[in-house]
Amino acid sequence: MEKVNKEINRVIKEKILEMDDYYHDDTVIMVKYLNRNNLQIDNKGINSYVDYLKGIHDGKQYAAQTVNKRLALIKNRIKFIQKKYPKEAEIILSEYKGFEKLEYIRINSFAIDKDRIISNKDYEKLINSADIRLSLIMETLYITGIRINEFRNILVSNCRKRKDHIDVRILGKKNKERIVFLSFELYNRIIREFKGSTYLFEHNGSQYSNRATTIRIANLSERVIGSHHTAHDFRHSTATKLLKKYTLASVAKYLGHSDPSICARIYDNNVLSFSEVNKVVGKK
């Protein structure tokens, strides 16, 4: 039975490592931990990894947001295994009772770091320094505020011409649909360059990789503007700028947040910076 479990785990680990989504990098980290400690995706292995995430190692501790994301990864992958491989899940997860251990760490504020907001000046530098394809991808992420996984899944058939713009139908988190906008000018440049037959953005007939795109953006930003930015930072930047002019409810709906309060917590401007605190209570 132990040999059967190990073989099932070997296959399952390979399958979840193939998933190119928001949790890919965290999946790699989890599988490396399990393999390093000769553990499997089962009750013992998952509980050990959760304890590790919440523990202190060499005087260091993971930030709450990192822990919470990796707990969300565990839930996501368990649900994936149970749905796609029910027979195998019944064998390796039959004794799993650890969902109560996956309670998220409470965070006082979800507000994003202001350093993650890309200024207009830096945005122009990035666009002008990238090759044409990466430039068009960054423009689209910035103009629409969509998530990286939503970008790669845009179908040509879901782009509909209106009087003065293009409606783009997006299927977001939890299969919730919404509409974002592209100008005719940007849409036409994308069509001419990518020539997608199924997806708006295609590379040799296939979808773009979330991970590869994010890495390219991060490398470019470090080289051109001297700071680290990911694909998701374009979304944060768009949201921050829209909220300066429009209502929270309308921006949350456009971004695809299920609840405006989520948007409010993420883009809460009522968070003091070091310079603001130091100005009042620092040494004179």
Q: What pLDDT score was predicted for residue 160?
A: 95
φ/ψ region of 142 (left if φ > 0, alpha if ψ in -120 to 50, else beta) reads alpha
Q: What pLDDT score was predicted for residue 151?
A: 93
pLDDT in tens, 193-206: 999 999 999 998 88
Whether the predicted pLDDT of 267 surpasses 80: no
Note every long-range contact of 239-247, with CB atoms under 8 Å and residues 24 or more positions apart, other chains counting: 239/145, 239/263, 239/266, 239/267, 240/117, 240/267, 242/145, 243/267
The tokens describing 191, both together, are 């069509």
For the CA atoms of 87, 69, 211, 76, the dihedral, rounded to the nearest 10 degrees, stands at 20
Confidence of residue 185 (pLDDT cuts 50, 70, 90): very high
Whether the predicted pLDDT of 221 surpasses 90: yes
Residues 6+ apart with CB under 8 A from 67: 53, 54, 104, 105
The percent of residues above 70 in pLDDT, for the chain, comes to 87
What is the pLDDT averaged over residues 126-140?
Answer: 97
Residues 6+ apart with CB under 8 A from 89: 78, 81, 82
pLDDT in tens, 62-89: 888 888 889 999 999 998 998 999 988 8
Whether the predicted pLDDT of 235 surpasses 80: yes
Q: What pLDDT score was predicted for residue 97?
A: 66
What domains are defined for the chain?
2-102 (no CATH), 114-266 (1.10.443.10)
With beta carbons less than 8 A apart as the criterion, state whether 212 and 203 touch: no
Whether the predicted pLDDT of 172 surpasses 60: yes
pTM given for the model: 0.68
pLDDT in tens, 243-259: 888 888 888 888 887 77
How far apart are alpha carbons 67 and 95 in whole angstroms?
Answer: 24
How far apart are alpha carbons 229 and 215 in whole angstroms?
Answer: 9
Q: Which residue has the tokens 């004179």?
A: 284
- Phi, psi values for residue 210, rounded to 5°: -55, -50
